[in-house]
Structure 1
Amino acid sequence: MRRRRLRALLGAALTAAIAVPLVAVAGDASAATNSFRGVNWADARDNYVNGWVIPSGLTAADSYSTVYTKANGIIAGFQSLLGANTVRLPINPQSVNDTWWASYKGAFDSALAHGMKVIVSYWEADTAKDGYVDDPAAWNTMWDRVTTDYAGNANVYFEPMNEPFGYSLSAWVSLCSTWLSRHANIPRGRVLISGTGYNDNVTGVGAASALSGTLLSLHFYGFWASDTTRAAWTTNLSNRLGSYSSRTVIDEAGSPMTTGLTYTGAANQDGNVFTSYFAATTDLTRARQMGIVYWPGLRTGDTYSITRQSGSGLAVNNASGVAQLRWGWGL
């Protein structure tokens, strides 16, 4: 996560350099996205790995049944402690095109058995870290397999790539258009197209006619600026959304949850970068009926992790953070 955060700091500068939006389409693809009340379940090493992605609590030696059983406790914790109904899980070609996929599917299947939505997203390897698909042929093979396995389940959503910062807007739209054509059996309303840069701006992809009908995904973090007021953070976020809030799911947003910050109550929010950021983000998502998928719901060793493992289940790291997140979800 730390490496990814440092890279994300460059997002605003990169976004400014991206070409102007493509041909616009009238209106938004959906009325609201607040049906996504989610969390990321992440690898302790971060999801940028050159090898199998293994979310916290799982091991490479786990069988399908072991993954499924472990996931039952974690997914149930996301539901009971947070009120989540969505989990975002990482994939890469090594994880899907190798033997791990047969076991790893236990996490997906457990979430679906619990009635959860699942967002599955491709992450590049940490040996590349250039914002491009590492191996297009392997990437296609991966997505062919994942969509074959889960196209028929309406609760599975597909995000072709996480943080595509290597691509220009036009190149990114072209890649996504090709993905949509290759997987035309997937309804566009079950595809999340990442914003340009570090997923940090959706105005370009939102305006691209080739991507009409898709959902959009945005990332937004408090370490991207030094503002200490909700008003400043609201402006920052609004500019990244443009007129596309109703199509957008913020599928990464998070704040320190193990450092003693209090997130609830107006008196505790302005005056601190992270409390003002998180308040502004959750206020806006609630007001605009937007989905938010917290980073991370569970990731061992991450100060942003809103839960931690406890026995076969989970425990909350910051009750006020949970309350503020639930506010943003509209609960």
Structure 2
Amino acid sequence: MFHSRVSRPPRGAHSGRPTGQGRTLRRVLAAALTTLVAVPVSLLSAAPSASAAVDPTQFRGVNWARIGDNYTDTPLVLDGMSATDTYATIRAKADALYSGFNSTVGANTVRLPMNRNTAPGTAWGDAYAGAVDAATAKGFNVVLSYWEDGASSGGKVVNTASFYTMWDAVIAKYGSNSRVYFEPMNEPHGYTSTDWRNFAATWIARYPTLPKERIFVSGTGFNDDVTSVCSDSRLAGTYLSLHLYGYAFSARSYDDWVTLFNSRIGTCGARTVLGEFGAPMDDGRNYNDAGSTDNLVRYLRAATDTVRAKGMGAIYWPALGGKRTMRPDYDWYSLYALHGTGTNLSLSVRNTTIVDRLEYAWNTGDGSPTTTLRNVGVPGCLDVPGASQVNGTQTIIWTCTGNTNQKWTRTAGGQITVYGGTKCLEATAAGTANGTTVGINDCNGAANQQWIFYSDGTVRGAQSGRCLDVKETTSRTQLWDCWGGSNQKWQIV
């Protein structure tokens, strides 16, 4: 995200394109060469590894951020962490959250911020390592990105020695772990294109044993254009990181959004990861609506369509954390609401239509919100018996047939509809007690027809907070206190 010291409009406000002016400073390469004198011999002496072909499609990810954004001179205590957490506690929390990222959207990558007070060898950095280790143990990719702190200002590194001391420690700890990737600087908007490319090339030269395909080079400005870094031969073989947000530009058509993305990517899609993008998640926007007149819906559809069309990777901003400019308690772009205490954490998805768009971008789904809902404990699919369309018909679990009475559509407003959206799944008579039957009725937008999908596999009534439960003796659906039973676990198939 953007540095709080830079004058930028809050998300949700319209503005023209940000201009982030580069300032004329001494040549970065010359300054960095001076710093190289202090580079440990072990980092310079070995021959570079052969570079493998990059594959950005392997990065299906989310950003995990600090509350209030990651620009800070203090340790990076991410949303859900506590400053007193130990390595073991952070690892347990991270493990729970990564399971949720994967189970809800199929994520396999997390982008984590880094700064000098979070680097290995610092008190917090040694605890923070639990977040990295939990991810790699789970088979996740990790992108460690440096965010502006006291060693930088205005989108530019000002204390080169301190900056490289941090990176030396990070590379020494994680350089041998093939699942960890390194982004030298997030949003280097204080540099001209030439100076940023020189700086990135110097960073790469400092770590000759680090494979170039483990490096993410930020686009110029606010990461919003990768074409010039792509054309620099010194940066060949690296990934490129693009950030592009709808709120930073004037409203435009879907086609014009696609044109904008293409202009910022050029012919470099096969190396590019859309490392930050996002839109409001809590106000019912339908990101599945191809005909939407909402500018941010058009933007996000263009983003996800471009990622898929160009064979790119994509990392959504944010899963958790971020700025609280439009909402007092969370970033309204955040993918999830966080629940639980201690290490017993779970997530709920704020808007299920973003799940469909992410799966489409990542080429892991067709983008359709219409699927079957399969119960884990009672084998079979959620079904309207006899294909009835009579209001009040209680739903059941039945052998999966793929018929229309088993095709359920998840909407941006939290409804689960059937028969092409003519009927909604509801808690009968707006009941909230244990044992309240669950069936179909005409869609009316009431709270008893709104459902929330959780990372533990449960589907919970927005009104009651109780779980969509299958009574095992009858295979009929009802509300019941959430207790962790397999008859309350659902799969979207």
Q: Which TM-score applies when normalising by structure 2?
A: 0.62
1:201 positional shift: 0.4
**2:184 and 2:216 in contact (8 A); partners too:** yes
Distance 1:108 1:73 in 2: 13
Which residue identity is paired with 2:300? F
**Residues 112-151 of structure 1: CA deviation (Å, up to 9, x unaligned):** 1110000000000289650012421111111111111111
Structure 2 residue aligned with 1:173: 197
Would you say 1:280 and 2:302 are equivalent positions? yes
Match of 1:305 among 310, 326, 334: 334
Distance 1:16 1:262 in 2: 38
Structure 2 residue aligned with 1:140: 164
Counterparts of 1:43-62 in structure 2, within 5 Å, are 43-62=66-85
**1:38 and 1:84 in contact (8 A); partners too:** yes
Distance 2:53 2:273 in 1: 11
Distance 1:121 1:68 in 2: 19
Q: Secondary structure at the match of 2:240?
A: strand
Structure 1 residue aligned with 2:59: 36
**Residues 281-320 of structure 1: CA deviation (Å, up to 9, x unaligned):** 1011111111000000111611000012122121111101
Match of 1:328 among 361, 368, 384: 361
Which residue identity is paired with 2:135? A
Distance 1:15 1:252 in 2: 21
Distance 1:89 1:128 in 2: 18
Distance 1:287 1:173 in 2: 27
Higher helix share: 1
1:17 positional shift: 11
Pairs aligned (count)? 319
Structure 1 residue aligned with 2:348: 315
Q: Which TM-score applies when normalising by structure 1?
A: 0.91
Distance 1:292 1:233 in 2: 17
When residues 65 and 115 of structure 1 are mapped into structure 2, their CA distance, relative to the original with a 3 A threshold, is same
Match of 2:131 among 77, 87, 107: 107
Match of 2:122 among 80, 85, 98: 98
Structure 2 residue aligned with 1:117: 141
1:324 positional shift: 1.1
**2:151 and 2:160 in contact (8 A); partners too:** no
Match of 1:236 among 230, 253, 260: 260
Which of 1 and 2 has greater Rg? 2
**2:17 and 2:249 in contact (8 A); partners too:** no
List, as ranges, runs of 4+ consecutive aligned residues in structure 1 with deviation greater than 4 Å. Answer: 1-6, 8-12, 14-18, 29-32, 126-129
**2:62 and 2:317 in contact (8 A); partners too:** yes
Q: Secondary structure at the match of 1:299?
A: strand
Structure 2 residue aligned with 1:24: none
**1:12 and 1:200 in contact (8 A); partners too:** no
Q: Secondary structure at the match of 2:273?
A: strand
Would you say 1:211 and 2:235 are equivalent positions? yes
Distance 1:286 1:17 in 2: 36
Distance 1:58 1:202 in 2: 33
Structure 1 residue aligned with 2:32: none
Structure 1 residue aligned with 2:89: 66
Larger RCO, structure (CA 8 Å, separation 6 or more)? 1
**Residues 80-135 of structure 1: CA deviation (Å, up to 9, x unaligned):** 01110000000111221521011000000001111000000000028965001242
**2:278 and 2:333 in contact (8 A); partners too:** yes
Distance 2:135 2:7 in 1: 31
Distance 2:361 2:8 in 1: 26
Match of 2:218 among 179, 190, 194: 194
Segments of 5+ residues of structure 2 without an aligned counterpart are 10-14, 25-51, 323-329, 365-493
Structure 2 residue aligned with 1:294: 316
**1:41 and 1:87 in contact (8 A); partners too:** yes
Distance 1:30 1:15 in 2: 34
1:16 positional shift: 11
Root-mean-square deviation (CA), in Å? 2.3
Which residue identity is paired with 2:200? C
